[in-house]
Amino acid sequence: MISVAQLTGSAETAVDRVNDAFLSMEGSPLCTLATVRQPGMEPGGTIEVLSAGHPLPYLVKNDGSVTPLGTTGPLLGFIPDPRWPYTTAEIEPGESVVLFSDGVLDTMSDDRRHFGEQGLIEVLRSQPVADAAELVERLDRALLDFQGAEQRDDIAVLVLRRLP
């Protein structure tokens, strides 16, 4: 995925090629992914978001609001010649984009409740952060406090923050 995107400059082309590769494999492998791309060479506030069956990234705004970015398209390896919609968003200085695996949402407590989108949004809204690492640490602490036994799914978080 990364190699094709670097060679072509297009995340959409890379996603198409990965989808084609999955469709040609035995056993019907499926995969989800989300990409965030900053077009152009100059740092700025415009990003492009593409989701192939993956939970949408969240934008954490300076006013504390949290909104999903993008539109989810089909899973990779599910159908031939799908179209994944790109969404363009403006990120203001001091705002963050949070990408995460579904393991974050699926984290389960001892009483079998899922952390879910509401749990994630509450953590992201809880208070302003100084930097991306602080936001990742806050979410990690919340997940560890919430979870019961060892989790079955992977948990991954990536925070992109536009410098103030």
Average confidence (pLDDT) per 10 residues, the chain, 164 residues = 78 88 86 86 79 95 93 92 90 94 92 94 87 93 87 86 86
pLDDT of residue 41: 56
Burial letters for 7-46: b for 16+ Cβ neighbours within 10 Å, e otherwise? Answer: eeeebbebbbbbbeebeeeeeeeeebbbbbbeeeeeeeee
Q: Which CATH superfamily is domain 2-161 in?
A: PPM-type phosphatase domain (3.60.40.10)
The pLDDT of residue 130 is: 78
